[in-house]
């Protein structure tokens, strides 16, 4: 029997990142995943202006790319906090 079937790692597996940020010149993009449950609330908050900033936490950009470990939605941003 294959080891992956006999002792699946999915039970204890944790993701290393929620997405990836790529920045090249004037273009930047984030490709990642968010849980489905808060999507409606996030969209409503964006439309009403309650969310003004999306703050990514993760690795520093290297060769124009970085793994993102967390995403925070905020109405205010103070660079001193980070």
Residue 69 has pLDDT above 90, yes or no: yes
- Reported as a single tens digit per residue, the pLDDT across 31-68 is 998 888 999 999 999 999 999 999 999 999 999 999 99
**Mean pLDDT for the chain overall:** 87
- Given pLDDT bands bounded at 50, 70 and 90, which one contains residue 82? confident
Residue 54 has which token pair?
Answer: 């999306």
Per DSSP, the three-state class of 53 is strand
List the one residue out of 26, 36, 34, 75 whose CA is nearest residue 53.
75
């Amino acid at each position: 029997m294959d080891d992956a079937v006999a002792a699946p790692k999915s039970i204890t597996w944790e993701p290393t990142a929620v997405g990836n940020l790529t920045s090249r010149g004037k273009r930047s993009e984030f490709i990642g995943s968010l849980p489905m449950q808060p999507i409606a609330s996030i969209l409503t908050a964006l439309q009403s202006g309650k969310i003004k900033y999306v703050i990514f936490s993760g690795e520093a950009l290297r060769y124009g790319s970085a793994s993102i470990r967390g995403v925070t939605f905020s109405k205010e941003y103070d660079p001193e906090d980070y």
